[in-house]
């Protein structure tokens, strides 16, 4: 039994007595306690693959920041790896795939993950659930198929993802084949996360914003929809498509509960577009560089704009690594009304 199920009730549209709050990228980076654990692993991939370490840093922000949910510490690119496409995380540069997807044969060689290859994540979930001991819900997650596709074809991060988009334009059929394989893998993966104890799920479409609306509906939302349908409605699901201002109304039609918003989105406009879905977001992570007075003002403005019900307070993107942990805690406290 959960002692604090605010976020689950907010996601389901049930009444809450206080706005729940958590922060994307809360598990890590800004916390010295995280960096201490991180230092014990040889590299990022090894860190992600270690269930004990992953569970430990998952729980840290609950104790340190007082957030209303934990999110399992992992990486969206574990799915490509489980499908047979390994990657490296290069310090201060980001992910890098030595081999990328370029041909039909490359796609044929990938297999659909059963979720079994990702036992290190589900083990971490089991451990984290044990460590949390019902204090707050645990969020599981995966990357949206388009975002994973973008990395798998491009080979690394990019401002434009023009290589990945070129593949959509020049090989639409192959693109669909790859996206479907990713989506099916993600369904198995998320089902395994639920079985391991995840109380809620979030699908991250980090590179939604590089696509126009038509391409977004065809190559991204279709597969997010497939995932939402595929996992059933066992636990609440959040879809966060960064910079997809053009797709909020379409996301609202999915079998999901919550829509994540970045800081360029207007709360009132989104309320109209999102129907009865719960909204999550959307403070600018850079705002946490400001002084406490500004943070308080902005936090109050945000919660006034979204209202208390059907709302989960969060940032509009992950925390930046050089954010002062005390400022982050101050923000969380402001939302909690402390």
* Positions in the binding site for a copy of itself (CB under 8 A): 157, 159-160, 162, 165-166, 168-170, 209, 211-213, 215, 243, 245-246, 263-266, 284-287, 289-291, 294, 316-317, 320
**Structure tokens given for 269:** 């406009």
For every residue of 174-240, DSSP letters joined together read HHHHHHHHHHHHHHHHHHHHHHHT-SEEEEEETTGGGS-HHHIIIIIIHHHHHHHHHTTTSS-EEEE
User: Looking at 5, 75, 205, 243, which residue is catalytic?
Assistant: 75
How are strands ordered across the β-sheet holding 70-71? 70-71, 138-143, 200-205, 237-241, 258-260, 278-283, 311-315
Report the C-alpha gap between 114 and 226 in whole angstroms. Answer: 16
Any alpha helices (H) in 66-112, and if so which ranges? 78-83, 104-109
How far apart are CB 92 and a copy of itself at their closest, in Å? 12
User: Looking at 5, 25, 87, 330, which residue is catalytic?
Assistant: 25
In the complex with a copy of itself, the residue whose CB is nearer, 211 or 224, is: 211
In the complex with a copy of itself, the residue whose CB is nearer, 120 or 320, is: 320
How far apart are CB 90 and a copy of itself at their closest, in Å? 15
Report the C-alpha gap between 248 and 274 in whole angstroms. Answer: 7
How far apart are CB 40 and a copy of itself at their closest, in Å? 28
Report the C-alpha gap between 35 and 56 in whole angstroms. Answer: 12
How far apart are CB 270 and a copy of itself at their closest, in Å? 11
**Structure tokens given for 235:** 């636990």
In the complex with a copy of itself, the residue whose CB is nearer, 44 or 246, is: 246
35 carries an active-site annotation = no
User: Looking at 5, 68, 87, 151, which residue is catalytic?
Assistant: 151
**Structure tokens given for 15:** 């009444």
Q: What angle do CA 58, 64, 66 make, to 5 degrees?
A: 90
In the complex with a copy of itself, the residue whose CB is nearer, 115 or 281, is: 281
Of 200, 56, 72, 194, give the one whose Cα is nearest residue 131: 56
CB neighbours of 330 closer than 8 A, spacing ≥ 6?
292, 295, 296
Taking each helix axis from N to C end, the angle separating 51-65 and 119-132, rounded to the nearest 10 degrees, works out to 40
User: Looking at 9, 38, 271, 336, which residue is catalytic?
Assistant: 38
In the complex with a copy of itself, the residue whose CB is nearer, 210 or 235, is: 210
How far apart are CB 262 and a copy of itself at their closest, in Å? 9
Cβ atoms of 117 and 143 closer than 8 Å? no
12 carries an active-site annotation = no
**Structure tokens given for 124:** 């971490």
How far apart are CB 157 and a copy of itself at their closest, in Å? 7
In the complex with a copy of itself, the residue whose CB is nearer, 168 or 221, is: 168
How far apart are CB 38 and a copy of itself at their closest, in Å? 21
CA atoms within 13 A on the CB side of 316: 20
135 carries an active-site annotation = no
In the complex with a copy of itself, the residue whose CB is nearer, 143 or 316, is: 316
18 carries an active-site annotation = no
> Which residues are known catalytic residues?
25, 29, 38, 75, 151
């Amino acid at each position: 039994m959960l002692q604090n199920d605010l976020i689950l009730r907010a996601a389901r549209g049930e009444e809450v007595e206080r706005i729940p709050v958590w922060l994307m990228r809360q598990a890590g980076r800004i916390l010295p306690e995280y960096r201490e654990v991180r230092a014990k692993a040889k590299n990022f991939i090894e860190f992600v693959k270690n269930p004990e370490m992953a569970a430990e840093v998952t729980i840290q922000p609950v104790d340190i920041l007082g957030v209303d949910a934990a999110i399992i510490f992992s990486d969206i690119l574990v799915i490509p790896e489980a499908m047979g496409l390994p990657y490296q995380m290069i310090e201060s540069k980001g992910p890098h795939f030595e081999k990328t997807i370029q041909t039909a044969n490359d796609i044929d060689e990938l297999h659909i993950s059963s979720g079994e290859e990702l036992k290190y994540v589900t083990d971490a979930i089991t451990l984290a659930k044990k460590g949390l001991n019902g204090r707050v819900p645990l969020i599981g997650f995966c990357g949206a198929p388009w975002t994973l596709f973008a990395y798998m074809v491009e080979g690394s991060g990019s401002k434009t993802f023009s290589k990945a988009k070129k593949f959509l334009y020049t090989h639409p059929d192959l693109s669909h084949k790859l996206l479907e394989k990713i989506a099916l893998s993600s369904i198995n993966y998320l089902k395994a996360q639920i079985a391991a104890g995840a109380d809620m799920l979030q699908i991250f479409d980090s590179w939604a914003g590089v696509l126009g609306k038509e391409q977004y509906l065809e190559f991204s939302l279709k597969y997010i929809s497939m995932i939402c349908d595929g996992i059933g409605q066992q636990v609440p699901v959040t879809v966060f498509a960064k910079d997809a201002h053009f797709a909020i109304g379409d996301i609202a039609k999915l079998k999901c509960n919550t829509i994540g918003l970045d800081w360029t989105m207007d709360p009132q406009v989104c309320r109209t577009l999102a129907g009865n879905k719960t909204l999550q977001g959307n403070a600018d992570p850079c705002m946490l560089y400001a002084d406490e007075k500004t943070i308080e003002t902005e936090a109050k403005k945000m919660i006034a704009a979204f209202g208390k019900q059907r709302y989960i307070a969060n940032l509009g993107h992950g925390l930046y690594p050089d954010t002062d942990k005390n400022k982050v805690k101050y923000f969380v406290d402001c939302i909690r009304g402390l």
